[in-house]
Amino acid sequence: YSKQWEGCMEIAVQTARTAGQVIREAFKHEKEVSTKSSPVDLVTETDRLVEDLIISSLREKYPSHRFIGEESSAAGEKCLLTDNPTWIIDPIDGTCNFIHSFPMVAVSIGFAVNKELEFGVIYHCLDENLYTARKGHGAFCNGIQLQVSKETDMSKALILTEIGAKRDPATLKIFSGNMERLLKAQVHGIRVIGSATLALCQVASGAADAYYQFGLHCWDIAAAAVIIREAGGNVIDTSGGPLDLMSRRIVAAGTVEMAHYIAREIQTITYERDDHN
């Protein structure tokens, strides 16, 4: 049954590579920056151009499929997951990095059918690392199989997180409180690399033991969730329940123990759901 989507995944890989080339070229030049929901929620002309390029080429091949994209959503398109085959796209994850020429920038393409994630492709545009996974078939980086870390002990953990777009005092207090609690558990370190998808790929690779964040979007989660699961890892909601693609929050870890430990420790930062009306 899942063989059905193999062709779509091949197209996703080709599309991500083509988009990556455009981004790599644009990376060298001056960027035209504007803001979206807040002064730190940024977009460039390249984000829009690359999303158009990805969606128009996929739509040509799959006219009956649905598309959820970061910049189309910002432009007012509804972000609703139905049972139809749906492509979930972040043209540039790490836009702020892209603007600063900080080389952590990725294209993310996830695909869901019947609201279930079938495959994910994440392309690190500068390193040219291609992360891929299809449900039931393992996760790979440039063809090499990925395996998450088996660490259960927080005092031996390297944790990744991202900051999110809200910077009001109450949010910042919870954000730093969460970090403080994990630091008190004597974790080895906490890193913020500026790309949720590439951070999640580090968890899939076993280079980091866990990731958590409030405020990311379905296009940051979709592809990465398949990649982590297929690498043997866990992706859950910050409440400890099952992952909700539209809830804008996530805990991912190599082990169930670590995922639940983090979910218990961190306090919630509330963001409007991606599928709000």
Query: Could you identify the residue written with the tokens 């080709």?
Result: 14
According to the binding rule CB under 6 A, does residue 254 interact with ligand IPD?
no
**272 has catalytic annotation:** no
According to the binding rule CB under 6 A, does residue 124 interact with ligand IPD?
no
According to the binding rule CB under 6 A, does residue 11 interact with ligand IPD?
no
Interface with ligand IPD: number of residues (CB under 6 A):
16
Alpha carbon of 33 to those of 29, 42, 55: distances in Å?
Answer: 12, 7, 22
Q: How many CB atoms lie within 10 A of CB 20?
A: 21
Q: 138, 131 in Cβ contact below 8 A?
A: no
Alpha carbon of 60 to those of 82, 105, 168: distances in Å?
Answer: 20, 26, 42
Of 113 and 223, the one with the shorter C-beta distance to ligand IPD is 223
**Contact stretch for ligand IPD (CB under 6 A) within 92-100, 141-149, 151-159, 183-191:** 92-100
Of 113 and 121, the one with the shorter C-beta distance to ligand IPD is 121
Helices (H), the chain: 6-27, 45-61, 70-74, 95-100, 169-184, 196-205, 218-230, 256-265
Of 160 and 187, the one with the shorter C-beta distance to ligand IPD is 160
**For ligand IPD, which residue of 51, 71, 90, 230 counts as binding (CB under 6 A)?**
90
Active-site hit among 51, 118, 151, 220? 220
Q: Tell me the two tokens of residue 212.
A: 């958590």
Of 23 and 92, the one with the shorter C-beta distance to ligand IPD is 92
Q: Mask of contacts with ligand IPD, 207-236, x by CB under 6 A?
A: --------xxx--x----------------
**93 has catalytic annotation:** yes
Of 34 and 145, the one with the shorter C-beta distance to ligand IPD is 34
Separation of CA 92 from chain center: 11
For 224, phi then psi, to 5°, come to -65, -35
Residues 133 to 192 in contact with ligand IPD, rule: CB under 6 A: 162-164
According to the binding rule CB under 6 A, does residue 120 interact with ligand IPD?
no
Residue 114: Cβ-neighbour burial (10 angstroms; 0-12, 13-18, 19+): exposed
Using DSSP, state whether 174 is helix, strand or coil.
Answer: helix
According to the binding rule CB under 6 A, does residue 71 interact with ligand IPD?
no
Q: What is the smallest separation between the CB atom of 4 and ligand IPD, expressed in angstroms?
A: 29
Active-site hit among 47, 51, 70, 71? 70
Separation of CA 67 from chain center: 16
**55 has catalytic annotation:** no
For 236, phi then psi, to 5°, come to -135, 170
According to the binding rule CB under 6 A, does residue 195 interact with ligand IPD?
yes
User: Which residues are known to be catalytic?
Assistant: 70, 90, 92-93, 95, 220
In the complex, the residues that contact ligand IPD under the rule CB under 6 A are 70, 90, 92-95, 162-164, 194-196, 215-217, 220
